[in-house]
Amino acid sequence: MKKFFICTVITTCLLLPATQFAQSKKKKSKKDEAVTQAAPEKKPEGTIKEYSKVITKDAISDDGLFTVHKVDKKYYFEIPNKLLNKDMLLVSRLSKLPSNLGGGYVNAGSETNEQLIVWQRFQDKILIKSKSYNAVANDTLPISISVKANNYEPTLFAFDIVAFSKDSANTVIDVTKFYSSDVKAISGISAEMRELYKVKGLDDSRSFINGIKSFPMNIEVIQDMTYNASKPSMLEESESISIQMNQSMVVLPEKMMQPRLADPRVGWFTVSQYDYGSNELKSDLKTYIRRWRLEPKDPEAYARGELVEPIKPIVYYLDPATPEKLRKYIKLGIEEWQKPFEAAGFKNAILAKDAPTKEEDPDFSPEDIRYSVIRYVASTTRNAVGPSVSDPRTGEIIESDVIWYHNHLRSYRNRYLLETGAANPSARTLKTSDEEMGDMMRMVIAHEVGHALGFPHNMGASCAYDVESYRNGDFTQQNGISASIMDYARFNYIAQPGDKNIRFIRKMGAYDKYAVNWGYRVIPNAKSAQDEKPILDKWILDNAANPMYKFGKQSSAFDPSSQTEDISNNSMKASSYGLKNLEYVAGHLPEWTSDVTNDYGDLQELYGELLEVWSRYIGHVVTNVGGVYENIKNPNQAGTVYDVVPKAKQIEAMNWLQTNAFASPTWIVNTKTLRNTDFSGYTEKFRSLQVRHLNSLLSFGRIGRLMDAEILGADNYKALDLLKDTRKGIWKEAGIPSNVTIYRRNLQRAYIDRMAFLMTEEIKPADRSTIYYNVAQSDIRALVRGELTALKATLAIAKTRAVNAETKYHYEDAIKRIDLILNPK
């Protein structure tokens, strides 16, 4: 690696300690020397020393952005003075963590913080200042003084200067304490986790720096940190939480890329800042998309519409640890994006390469920010992630590492069997072919690379296709199962047995080409982000009427057209097809697993996942009730942004749920499978799934949206309609002399519990961002009270007509429970 040293003759004397400077002016007398030898002056601890006394001959040094020295157990940064006050990015990620930390929603590779920093000198100290680009103004404008004064950056840490290099071009600091202490700004344990797990503090004796590596553009630090915690996420008797953190410090480009303004109608990861230099009468929020810097080698040919290679293509290297048989599929997944980039005018814009050998490049390292790597991690985690590092000033993506966890393919094999096994004979096995598994991996890699290119999930993409199209072989072969690879649409679970030439695995779609062109195409003669706006807006308007180019936010949990894991534009029909297929699979599951392996382990695993697939299909229908379609628009477009799901569709969804979700189960509770995989808990497995969806149906947010719908039109489905239809469906047996099965008794008691919740609970702080009304002063309590009173009257009659003792006792118990809710005292 090359050293980042500079020779600065003029400043040498200025940077020397004052005592050294004075002694250079006057030669010591022999008397002075004798006094010095007899009683040498003892410098206070922490004062500046000679370089050779700090960075000794025993130092292990690593050249790069800063030179890193390890002397005994201490680590030192030797910072080139030319890099002081330069913008850098400090990214903190978890590299190893205990099971279930953060409730299972945090994985290895998860980012815990990202902050812009600068290293500054203050007297005899070096400071790390956390710098914000949330508020900006051009330095030439007077208001920039106020922006700086009112956005004073915090100091993350202060280091004593311990030495200067011999030419005074570099400053040496001891970073051991910074990286081995519990510095909250770079910690992997959030404030919420500290409270949840009763974290008392960092145990210094069990915390240390695992290693520090320096590269030309970045420094990587690995920390092993152990915290004393009364209630850790695993192994409670240890009273400890151990994590491994990766701290990446990256120098940002000297020449900033021209940013591109974001538009919510096209999905991008973004960075935002308030521009106080705007001509608006307020600070102007500017949001830029996150993208790589792609510039054509031949701008003139590019402007003529010819395909041109970029000056610097996006290159992903394969981790040397990647199994040989998977490499071609990973490369294909990366280069799936070449066609979308051609839509933006670039050829060979993204390339996949094997990592160089030691002979080809002895300095190659996946940790080097100059290299983006598809990392293959030997872990039981079933996941893949595509994080990236971007410049917060412009949104320019600097580097990204896609992380693939070894066991992730098992999830895909299982879902392939469960969701397509009825119509797809090749999926009916635990030994899915290498070709099919490779195709799945190819598309997962393409999805994760999409994140690394700047694209978030587009959950509206699968809604672009009609439900019956999924049974058309020609259509699925050409279009896959979604208009975008960035949707969570993994398999075609709609196609039925006998359908021919069906593609069951997802592929790239029309939206992917559209989004790449919108974000990456260079617009000639546009000198600023503002100059680009009219053209970008026109591209959106030209395609606004086509559902293939719609972006659906993952956060729109209320929108049935933007759901995770669903496919098609009709949830009820799609889920009906899905359940029909799942029934076939449930009946044949032992045949495809335990009968072949002579072991019940796979059967147990797959049956557990089959229940979750059933639950997903049900959940897709629930979203239609109290649903609101979100169609992001600008005022120059016709129509409204939010439209309530039509009443007829909501009634259809309610009827579907009563028939498919809340009825006593038949095939889904497979007693043959259960008796070979578990000794008890048979009814509980299904009760918990039914109650999950009942509670979701009767939620504060859903009821609130239905109350809002009343003011939008008299013919809309209302909150009272939901409560009445739910009561009548859940308690259907009370109106006719019939037995109530154990499943229905469980569900009916859950209904009463949920009504009690609606009568007594308040909105929790965590829910305030999605629930927009005062529950206590709304209609909810009155509606619930009225429904419980009506139910009590029905049950008073029903108990006299109960066919068996269980049903009679159940109705009597239900009446008592209702009394306790209506008259708690």
What is the DSSP code string of 12-30? HHHHS-HHHHHHTTSPPPH
The CA–CA distances, whole Å, from 684 to 11, 687, 694, 763 equal 76, 5, 15, 28
Whether the Cβ atoms of residue 480 and residue 469 lie closer than 8 Å to each other: no
* Structure-token match 């649903």, residue found: 627
* Structure-token match 């390469």, residue found: 353
Read off the tokens for 392: 């917060």
Cα-only R_g, the chain: 32
- What is the predicted pLDDT for the residue at 408? 85
- What is the predicted pLDDT for the residue at 6? 33
Length reported for the chain: 825
The Cα–Cα gap between 505 and 492 comes to: 7
Q: What is the DSSP letter of 545?
A: T
Read off the tokens for 80: 């080139």
- What is the predicted pLDDT for the residue at 104? 62
* Structure-token match 């989004």, residue found: 515
Classify residue 283 by burial, with Cβ atoms within 10 Å: 0-12, 13-18, 19+.
Answer: middle
Q: What is the DSSP string of 304-341?
A: TT--B-BSS-EEEEEPTTS-HHHHHHHHHHHHTTHHHH
* Structure-token match 């719609």, residue found: 550
Classify residue 142 by burial, with Cβ atoms within 10 Å: 0-12, 13-18, 19+.
Answer: exposed
Q: Looking at the DSSP assignment, which residues form a beta bridge with residue 352? A: 316
Whether the Cβ atoms of residue 207 and residue 223 lie closer than 8 Å to each other: yes
**312: Cβ–Cβ under 8 A, 6 or more apart, which residues?**
293, 294, 295
- What is the predicted pLDDT for the residue at 473? 97
3-class secondary structure for 219-283? EEEEEEEEEEECCCCCCHHHCEEEEEEEEEEEECCCCCCCCCECCCCCCCCEEEEEECCCCCCCC
**751: Cβ–Cβ under 8 A, 6 or more apart, which residues?**
694, 698, 726, 727, 730, 731
Whether the Cβ atoms of residue 807 and residue 743 lie closer than 8 Å to each other: no
3-class secondary structure for 668-714? CCCHHHHHHHCCCCHHHHHHHHHHHHHHHHCCHHHHHHHHHHHHHCC
**144: Cβ–Cβ under 8 A, 6 or more apart, which residues?**
137, 138, 276, 277
Amino acid at 269: F
Would you give the distance in Å from CA 348 to the centre of its chain?
28
The Cα–Cα gap between 216 and 1 comes to: 7
The Cα–Cα gap between 485 and 490 comes to: 9
The Cα–Cα gap between 638 and 277 comes to: 33
The Cα–Cα gap between 446 and 784 comes to: 48
Q: Residue 129 region, left (φ>0) first, then alpha (ψ -120 to 50), else beta? A: beta
* Structure-token match 């009597």, residue found: 812
Of the candidates 310, 320, 314, 313, the one whose C-alpha atom is nearest the C-alpha of residue 364 is 320
Tell me which residues of the chain have a pLDDT lower than 50.
1-44, 135-137, 141, 143-145, 147, 281-282
The Cα–Cα gap between 549 and 265 comes to: 9
- What is the predicted pLDDT for the residue at 273? 81
Q: Write phi, then psi, for 716 (nearest 5 degrees).
A: -80, 155
Q: What is the DSSP string of 359-375?
A: TT-TT--TTSTT-EEEE
Classify residue 315 by burial, with Cβ atoms within 10 Å: 0-12, 13-18, 19+.
Answer: middle
Q: Write phi, then psi, for 332 (nearest 5 degrees).
A: -65, -40
The Cα–Cα gap between 164 and 12 comes to: 10
The Cα–Cα gap between 386 and 452 comes to: 5
